Structure 1
Amino acid sequence: TVFIEGDAHDLKSSLPADEGFDVVVMHTLLSHASHPKTVLRNAYSVAKPDAKLIIMDGDYAGLTYGHSESWIGREMDRALVTATFSKPDVIRHLVMNMDRTGWLLESSRAQTVAEIGSEASFWVSFAECYAPRVKA
């Protein structure tokens, strides 16, 4: 087994001569890509005919933080998502984008992260990291 990391916009330069990839893995990539369809199309162009595509990404447009003032919470949501993701709702269009780029969806699995109260910690590091980058 060989793992090759490459530029999503230039995968052919990562490919060994005249070979194709058996598996293409995209981990939280499409939500950060300016042109997700181009990334999917490029991956398809370097994949073997029976290759598998594994995508792990999120519906970050649905990311929400609570605040005692609801308008502040909504503004935090908008600001953090805008500062962090190029395409926060890309997963909502994934099946359509896969169809348009040659891929076929065989299966999917969803996971939800929901935290409430003082024990919430999963997204705390995200907020701490990106909050300083948010412009008022």
Structure 2
Amino acid sequence: MSEGPKSPFAKKALADSVKREEAKLAIDQFIQRGIANDTMTESIKDDVAIQALSYAIEILYAKQGESNQLARNIAAKYPKKALRTERSIKQQLSVPTYAEMNEMDTDQIKTEVVKVVGQIVKVAKDIRGMGTEVAKFEKK
């Protein structure tokens, strides 16, 4: 049976990978439940807070891209229908920069995680709403 990596660099990489996966699991669970509240901060371990925030930001940008693409596709298919206009990512998203994250303490990072997950949940609801609008168009 393997004892694990012997190199300090390999050990650190393995530890970082485990932290990243732990953070991803926590964020994915919050998104799946559709919640973003202060109880989240209690379930995010201090040593994975920065990874959780980074992952949440990645998910937020991906969801916003998906939302914008869907809005463009719907507008192309139904040009005369009133649809929500696509907002720029800068207007839509509010996330800290990596420099700002490095200056935050753990509690501030966890608070930002809650805010970002809240934005993810909102974008996911917007995507579902657009799907509902399209279903209405197609019934007519």
TM-score range for the pair, normalised by the shorter chain length: 0.3 to 0.5
Q: Which has the higher contact order (CA 8 A, sep 6+)?
A: 2
Larger radius of gyration: 2
Higher strand fraction (1 or 2)? 1
